[in-house]
Amino acid sequence: MTEPLLGRNIAVAVGGGIAAYKACDFVRELRRAGAEVRVAMTKGACEFITPLTMQNLSGNPVFTDTFDSSQDHLYGHLQLAKWADLFVIAPATADLLARIKAGLGNDAVTTTLLAFRGPVLLAPAMNTAMWEHAETQATVAALVAQPKYRMVGPVAGPLADGDVGMGRLAELKELVTAVTAIAVAGPLAGKRVLVTAGPTREALDPVRFISNPSTGKMGLAMAEVARALGAVVTVVLGPVETVPPRGLEVIRVTTADEMLAAVMGRVEAVDVFVAAAAVSDWKAEQVSSTKVKKGEGVETVRLVRTPDVLATASAKVHGNPKRPVLMGFAAETHDVEAYARGKLTKKRLDLIVANDVSQAGAGFGSDSNRVIVFDGTGERLRAEGSKRDVAKEIWGVVLERRVG
């Protein structure tokens, strides 16, 4: 694959050492490999390279100061920690390593790291004597003993200060390889995920149809996060304007019947099926092949039910020893829990994500969502935020069970 980091959100934290200039090329390489990159810099790093350089190279604003309210709206430390799938510290100076080890949160980098739950790749770079110092060695040993931390480099060679020895930042290629190795070894590596997203559209005649305002954003966020976690993802997508993120197999459909056909051909081969589509519940009994002319009186259209894609897929895999984890979505305006749990039981699902579409900032078209996830035993999660952040939390619940 030419873009192995497609769909990955990578935070690059830059420490204050001369190797900071190499972080510029590193950010470029990550983007070339398909990653979305955001940068945080220590005060020391800003002495070596400017945030503006990193802003241009990453294509995103740079986080340098936890106490600068003008940066708060960008993404602050908590947002950046939530956003990132992987954190790379390059260069990791002796001072920065020591602060991370001590659990300090005294600048943009360390506050973000404290709030970050995912994997962290340390790329140390410093003078040989500093690297060989007993305190630095003890710090590094303590960090890499934790499963959260991996390390790449340093390597031996000529250093900026004229010394020759251990302490150079790992070569660019090695850095990118180390990032890729962590990224593709996500918890869903080797798993297949099928997602339905968007509305369906049921024609009445060549110019009219029944549909709903779904934009597919939540389903696409579920797909994008699954991809970032290492899965191979297929999305069966109804008619939407939203441009699907790269790195997904996208099958475009229009009607519920087409969605059903696309899902039934694939559901037995996947490890997780996420039904996030807002499938139209009805279609016209008769579709006119020519435009229907309006009359004066009341018109009657006879509607019949569309197939239930999720229920039909669930029935198909029911009893298979290797059946996929089945997840439905329930858009409700009232009695959210009762209706959601009813659908969980009726369609024999493992999980259902309920969202109260009557609330502002949740549901159709919105970029944010507020959800409650239930399984057969009860409530498992309440989550609120951008659809991608919510999708990450939902996948956290899926990953608590055996997938595949």
The token duo for 146 is: 């934790």
257 binds ligand CTP (CB under 6 A): no
Determine if 249 is a binding residue for ligand CTP (CB under 6 A).
no
User: Binding of ligand CTP at residue 309 (CB under 6 A)?
Assistant: yes
DSSP helix/strand/coil, 160: coil
Question: If binding is defined by CB under 6 A, does position 188 make contact with ligand CTP?
Answer: no
Identity of the residue, 150 or 343, whose beta carbon is nearer to ligand CTP in the bound complex: 343
Q: Does 306 bind ligand CTP (CB under 6 A)?
A: yes
Question: Does residue number 251 form part of the binding site for ligand CTP (CB under 6 A)?
Answer: no
Query: Footprint of ligand CTP on residues 339-378 (CB under 6 A)?
Result: 343
Q: Which is nearer to ligand CTP, 95 or 281 (CB)?
A: 281
85: phi then psi, degrees, rounded to nearest 5: -95, -25
Measured distance CA(95)–CA(100) in Å, rounded: 9
- x/- letters, 190..229, toward ligand CTP (CB under 6 A): ------x---------------------------------
**Segments of 42-131 assigned E as strands:** 86-92, 120-124
> Catalytic amino acids?
212
Write down the least CB distance from residue 141 to ligand CTP, Å: 48
* Contact pick of 48, 209, 329, 395 for ligand CTP (by CB under 6 A): 329
Query: Cα–Cα distance between 276 and 197 in angstroms, integer?
Result: 5
Extract the tokens encoding 219.
């389903």
User: What pairs with residue 208 in β-bridges?
Assistant: 205
Q: Which is nearer to ligand CTP, 174 or 308 (CB)?
A: 308
Q: Under rule CB under 6 A, which residues in 40-79 are in contact with ligand CTP?
A: none
Give the angle 5-390-352 at the CA atoms, nearest 5°.
Answer: 115
Within a 13 Å sphere around the CA of 18, how many CA atoms are in the beta-carbon half?
8
| Contact (CB, 8 A) for 13 and 123 | no
Interaction of residue 256 with ligand CTP, rule CB under 6 A: yes
Q: Is 95 exposed, middle or buried (0-12, 13-18, 19+ CB in 10 A)?
A: middle
The answer to whether residue 281 forms part of the interface with ligand CTP (CB under 6 A) is: yes
- 130/95 Cα distance (integer angstroms): 10
Q: What's the closest the beta carbon of residue 308 comes to ligand CTP, in angstroms?
A: 4
The binding site for ligand CTP (CB under 6 A) comprises 196, 256, 275, 277, 279, 281, 306, 308-310, 328-331, 343
